[in-house]
Amino acid sequence: MGIYVNPGNTAFQEAVNSMVYVDKSALIFCTNRALNTKQKNMCISRPRRFGKSMAADMLCAYYSAGCDSRALFSGLAIASDQTFEVHLNRHSVIRLDMQRFLETTQDLETFISQVQCCVIAELAQVFPQCVPFPANNRLKTVLDDIFRQTGSRFVFIIDEWDHVFRVARESTEKQKEYLDFLRGLFKGADYVEFAYMTGILPIKKYGEHSAINMFDEYSMIDPKNLGTYFGFTTEEVLAGCQRYGANPQEIKQWYDGYLLNGISIYNPKSVADAWMWKRCKSYWTGTETYEALKIYMDLNFDGLKETIIEMLGNGRVSVDPTTFQNDMTTLKTRDDVLTLLVHLGYLAFDEVRDEVFIPNQEIAQEFLRSIKTGGWDGVISALKRSEELLKSTWALDGDTVAEGIAAIHNETASLLQYNNENSLSCTLLMAYYSAKAYYKAPLRELPAGKGFADIVYLPKQDVKRPALVVELKWNRSAISAINQIKERQYASWLQDYAGDVLLIGINYDSKKKVHSCVIEKVEKEM
């Protein structure tokens, strides 16, 4: 048993022994079927705290010939698969954690040679019949030589593969040197039986092309068939809540919201912490500080701040993830920043609609922490007004609602380019920030009746509050907005809705710089 070659199963044993453990061994169904196929090279990217290292430890424990893991996997899902016995502890494994070799920028000059020297030293102990190895000390040459003499092939498990792109953000030379090393190690190599790399970022692109194109990528943008292994599923959370005595609705509000192939995924580490410590709160800040998020928010490409304010109001925004170059520095557009935030776990991505949004209360708190300092004048004050504004809406007090929206507009004037209905809608979403406690995510441009309602809020299940149908006008009148709702029968779309409906017309007069609001109640019987 070595550190890098044929490692043991201690790390995975600790995971299984922990107070909270959710069986994800079914991932091995997929990796077994990829062995010795054209799909044998897999790169899995997901955020911190989403179980990357645990999965890598599990695969090492299963494949490595350096340990006996039969008892460890007994009772887990993979044990019932027909391939379980075929591959259990029968493979030569090379396990690398790149963060171990590259802790600081001072290691940049030597880390690739250190990787090769450490692995070659252990290969000499495992394959003494092949010593002496070729003198050039290149790992790929040594592995070629071992394969030529013994026919031995290898399973590679590489954790934190992208760490160099975070340590050497500005050093494209070192990044390319590292990618050349990986390309030489894997491209066309007969000694590779299977390769599994995991990190936060997908493989670095130059232009439209991947630098290591022999790998199939599985990411928060495109998880392919591995979506259920990126976090906890709804079924796993419900079972865990019953086992650990937690409220599933509270867990959902705090940690759900990530969508992968249409599957609802929870942040696994945060859920596990909430189960263990019997408290729902943000566990995110233990590894990702709000300053890191703030750096990207403050770039403000293409109205990024306005976009974030819209998402804080529980809204969604369209995004094109294809221009992102899969690093943390080549950021040129708003979409690049939003896509990076998806990979970092700060945003969720709906691949059907190509939209991003803030997934849950835990992440919303991280955004709020980030905007409390500098450059976001008035946002916190505006959000604090939201609860009173919502109460005024329920009370049909249009004048107070108009005054509240005007105050929010004044407090955020430096952030929002207030010149059309779109910026008015952004202000409205911020004004109704507190609605997320009572309502589902707002529906924008909802097809209803004979046209499109601007914004519709539908109450959550078992919440007895009226639905809200909002029409916005610019240099018209609030009454004309109400009349449009009625004439085009927007509320008819809600005819099967069991509760009351409030029709809300809001206008902004740009000449007088005045907001107006009219609210009417449509009772269930109507």
Query: What is the band of 105 on the pLDDT scale with cuts at 50, 70, 90?
Result: confident
Q: In this predicted model, which residue has the larger pLDDT, 423 or 289?
A: 423
Q: Are 231 and 267 in contact (CB under 8 A)?
A: yes
Q: What is the band of 104 on the pLDDT scale with cuts at 50, 70, 90? A: confident
Residue 450 is predicted with a pLDDT of 38
pLDDT digits (tens, 9 = 90+) for 247-282: 999 999 999 999 998 899 999 999 999 999 999 998
**Average pLDDT of 223-244?**
96
Report the phi/psi class of residue 200: left, alpha or beta, with left for phi > 0 and alpha for psi in -120 to 50: alpha
Please give the helix or strand (H or E) that residue 487 lies within, else none.
helix 478-487
Query: What pLDDT is attached to residue 448?
Result: 42
Average pLDDT of the segment spanning 76-81? 95
Q: Are 468 and 446 in contact (CB under 8 A)?
A: no
Percent of the chain topping pLDDT 90: 58
Using CA atoms, how far apart are residues 9 and 2, in angstroms rounded to an integer? 11
Give CA angle at 268 (263, 270), nearest 5°: 130
Q: What gap in Å lies between CA 62 and CA 25, rounded to an integer?
A: 9
CA distance 294 to 376: 11
Four-CA torsion 227, 231, 235, 236, nearest 10 degrees? 140
C-alpha to C-alpha distance for 438 and 463, rounded to whole angstroms: 6
For residue range 281-291, list pLDDT tens digits in order: 988 765 444 55
Between CA 51 and CA 43 the distance in angstroms is: 14
User: Which strands, in side-by-side order, build the sheet including 348-350?
Assistant: 317-318, 355-357, 348-350
The amino acid that residue 348 corresponds to is A
Provide the residue type at 352 as one letter.
V
What would the pLDDT profile of 453-491 be if each residue is shown by its tens digit? 578 898 988 888 999 999 988 889 999 999 988 887 766
Average pLDDT over residues 205-227: 83
CB environment 85-119: b (16+ within 10 A), e (fewer): eebbbebbbbbbbbbbbbeeeeebeebbeebbebb
Per residue in 322-333, pLDDT tens?
888 887 778 888
* Phi, psi (deg, nearest 5) at residue 522: -105, 110
Beta pairing class for 216-218 and 41-45: parallel
Residue 211: CB atoms within 10 A of its CB come to 17
Q: What is the value of pTM for the model shown?
A: 0.88
The residues, ordered by sequence, that sit 6+ positions from 304 with a Cβ below 8 Å of its Cβ are 297, 334, 337, 338
